[in-house]
Structure 1
């Protein structure tokens, strides 16, 4: 019996750069990938199986979840009135392809998401991944990965970020016809939904397009500032070496600056990525391999989390002293709290496991909280599914949403990845991806959560058994939410 190769059409996951482990999680834009090679004795493939992604013949450390859903019926358990599907076709039914990576406006009215479906709107004929915005108040869906003249894109678009009011949406796209720059690279675009304008923001202060790929955008609350990472050498000094760097573009002044700069003004000596910008654009958190970003010695040899104050240029290592890798940071809109995953065993008491854990940190007081205990399955270290998506945090830092395969709540018995929310004030954790009565559970993996700024709503994607490999996006009420 020979090995079995499994191929998958890309559905919006993420892949890792060299070295094999890099929590910067740069977006993978390959639309076909070898996701696994099974040994001869592996046996039959089941809908719930999990496989490690292989990119260009090597193990990249990313896992693909084989999940199935029916193309015409809702997943079991989702009749819950507190849970609403936000990826709908023109008839209000399930669309004909994957919908993933939903993000929410501050009040949860608008949800931006990525979809390969062609039946969400009229006139979607490009057969590519597009970015859409669903208006929950008007029950309407709008495609935003289009040119200013309304023409649809000629390349796939991925990973949206949305402003607080839902007006501006940033995203990554390999399209060459929706902005002023056609450089054959992945670029960052912003769609102004009011003005019906789409602009390329992965540009230098003079307007020159990036000469290499740009990924993973994060937009400020008012839509003025956009943080992203890029390996371009022509965007802003001193980040001209070609290693991954974090940039911020000011849509008002048209200036682009590099945020992943060493404390003394020199270029970082390691790649940086996964930026998250505060609501006012004044602070940005990101991950980096560089050990020269701060004046104090960074000798842990790990991927660390940093925060830069864009007003005075001050930079601080948030994962200082960590004895393991940390990654996928997010900052609250008020700029006071950061959340990230870490393998470190010394950030808080009783964190002696090297499994991945989620931490929140008061950026001013250096006060760590371990939000959820161990939240990934022990088999992560064997290369299976991990919570690879960014955790999400409310404006004030109180609520943190994340996905995990561990059974963190007594009612979690489905044995698959679920979405949870943690109230950092009460210390309580509740599952979000479940039926209202708790009698029926989602029967396949859920993940990629986001949380509205006010903390009331949580979006996520889920797979469920059926005849197709389709994922849907949902929004649910936060079961732990309490009015201020």
Structure 2
């Protein structure tokens, strides 16, 4: 019996070794976008989205050697990687168009993404616009979130709830809900997977500015987004700048995260919100210098964290000022960790000035920032972080070849970092705020219920190819490229 047990254990170890799965000790960084046999990929991979437990990572890639038998040369596809088994699955097999902007549910069972393809589901109308799709990992099926009959505008920036029941996204289309007012602005929509109903986030009568980049809470009750509109809440200042808003789906109420009085600074723009699982914490990036007291007035993008319960806004990057822009941000499900990319070299001690954006991780409870990418510097940009539910894992992409050994493909790859600083916080008081916080009041504006909708869901079987694998947002304008904000038609 003992010999049989030893043989079984040895067999399991051999199977894992052959699978290409790479284990990571605390503080280690591993690559997850390699081809079979731990071979470097032959194309760029980027925009990862990680599950709450850090096991599943969805990302897009131009590579054609990530799974066996891939024939979509030159077409950007969506992939799903299992960190434990080392298996990567292609979600967009047979696609005839570019796909991007994946968002994975907290449980790892659902992946929302956008695509210009019309071959992903049966009966899809060839409407020439980018649409939103939802992949069910458990059943291995793909459904279309936007109407099968076709949309009259691009849809983009999907964000899926923790259980996959809700998908928030932006769209220029005006035929997604009944009674929608045609205009030239993008709006925020909510898709209920269970009922197949799509709802427009108020106002149904139309906003007077674009609304983009939604981030949805785990239960689907809260949606943070960015907008230039000034008619979303009462008494909003017309400052001509983008602001952050928070929609309460249950009460059908929108509040403003950034000040009602307007944001100042160099243009004062706010961008790229990320919301915690319970909807309490909203992280975002901003050029404004009036969001917290004693902030340094400069022309630098900084990271901020808003508490929707207390109305307090905190600055994650230094109050004394950063010497480089900070961009893409991701908050953990528990709200304790904020991952972001930054060009600054004064966020942590002894940081090398390598001239590239790097990945940083802020611990809200301890009010400490650490660097995910090497202190000694790297030879390429790192961006697009996505942090797991408890902050234990940070996925990101990088053009650097110095993060792991054997990275020789001269392309951007997807990496995962195992955070060694996660501790037991069962006795830590909730909703702590760092010492540099300043209260910002919000006003709420009730909007009429607008649940008029179109059932857009149809599910079909999907061919999935799995094979064992081993282990730019260069400023906000670059982040809009490559299908993250598709062209307006």
1:296 equivalenced with 2:235 (yes/no): yes
- Cα RMSD over matched residues? 2.1
- Whether the 8 Å CA contact 1:145–1:191 is kept in 2: the answer is no
- Unaligned 5+ segments in structure 2 are 1-23, 402-406, 426-489
- For the structure 1 residues 343 and 393, does the alpha-carbon distance in structure 2 shift closer, same or farther, using more than 3 Å as the test? same
Cα deviation per residue 1:330-356 (whole Å; 9 max; x = unaligned)? 111111110111111111123222321
Measured in 2, the distance between the counterparts of 1:130 and 1:396 equals 30
| Counterparts of residues 137-176 of structure 1 (less than 5 Å) | 137-146=84-93, 152-176=94-118
Cα deviation per residue 1:238-289 (whole Å; 9 max; x = unaligned)? 3532410010111111110111x24xx5311111101100101011011111
Measured in 2, the distance between the counterparts of 1:284 and 1:448 equals 20
1:453 equivalenced with 2:385 (yes/no): no
Could you list the structure 1 runs, at least 4 aligned residues long, displaced by more than 4 angstroms after superposition: 78-81, 374-379, 465-469
State the match for 1:329 in structure 2: 273
TM-score, normalisation: structure 2:
0.75
For residue 388 of structure 1, report the CA deviation from its aligned partner: 4.4
Cα deviation per residue 1:294-344 (whole Å; 9 max; x = unaligned)? 012322221111011111211001002322211111111111110111111
- Whether the 8 Å CA contact 1:133–1:141 is kept in 2: the answer is yes
| Counterparts of residues 182-197 of structure 1 (less than 5 Å) | 182-197=126-141
1:199 equivalenced with 2:137 (yes/no): no
Aligned residue among 126, 136, 143 for 2:72: 126
1:358 equivalenced with 2:303 (yes/no): yes
Aligned residue among 25, 38, 56 for 1:92: 38
- For the structure 1 residues 481 and 336, does the alpha-carbon distance in structure 2 shift closer, same or farther, using more than 3 Å as the test? same
1:394 equivalenced with 2:343 (yes/no): no
- Whether the 8 Å CA contact 1:376–1:406 is kept in 2: the answer is no
1:443 equivalenced with 2:382 (yes/no): no
Measured in 1, the distance between the counterparts of 2:224 and 2:39 equals 38
- For the structure 1 residues 410 and 459, does the alpha-carbon distance in structure 2 shift closer, same or farther, using more than 3 Å as the test? same
Measured in 2, the distance between the counterparts of 1:326 and 1:79 equals 36
- For the structure 1 residues 316 and 177, does the alpha-carbon distance in structure 2 shift closer, same or farther, using more than 3 Å as the test? same
- For the structure 1 residues 162 and 231, does the alpha-carbon distance in structure 2 shift closer, same or farther, using more than 3 Å as the test? same
| Counterparts of residues 1-12 of structure 1 (less than 5 Å) | none
- Unaligned 5+ segments in structure 1 are 1-77, 147-151, 380-385
Largest Rg, 1 or 2:
2
Measured in 2, the distance between the counterparts of 1:210 and 1:94 equals 38
State the match for 2:362 in structure 1: 422
- Whether the 8 Å CA contact 2:303–2:326 is kept in 1: the answer is no
- For the structure 1 residues 80 and 254, does the alpha-carbon distance in structure 2 shift closer, same or farther, using more than 3 Å as the test? closer
- Whether the 8 Å CA contact 1:340–1:360 is kept in 2: the answer is yes
- For the structure 1 residues 88 and 302, does the alpha-carbon distance in structure 2 shift closer, same or farther, using more than 3 Å as the test? same
- For the structure 1 residues 373 and 286, does the alpha-carbon distance in structure 2 shift closer, same or farther, using more than 3 Å as the test? same
Cα deviation per residue 1:424-443 (whole Å; 9 max; x = unaligned)? 12111000012xxx6x5322
1:215 equivalenced with 2:170 (yes/no): no
Cα deviation per residue 1:88-122 (whole Å; 9 max; x = unaligned)? 10112211111111110000000111111111101
| Counterparts of residues 213-362 of structure 1 (less than 5 Å) | 213-236=154-177, 237-259=179-201, 261-262=202-203, 266-320=205-259, 321=261, 322-323=263-264, 324-351=268-295, 352-362=297-307
State the match for 1:464 in structure 2: 400
SS in 2 for 1:406: coil
State the match for 1:373 in structure 2: 318
For residue 200 of structure 1, report the CA deviation from its aligned partner: 0.9
Measured in 2, the distance between the counterparts of 1:426 and 1:376 equals 20
- Whether the 8 Å CA contact 2:161–2:219 is kept in 1: the answer is yes
- Whether the 8 Å CA contact 1:376–1:405 is kept in 2: the answer is no
Cα deviation per residue 1:367-426 (whole Å; 9 max; x = unaligned)? 0110112799767xxxxxx5443x100112110000001011123203321100001121
State the match for 1:22 in structure 2: none
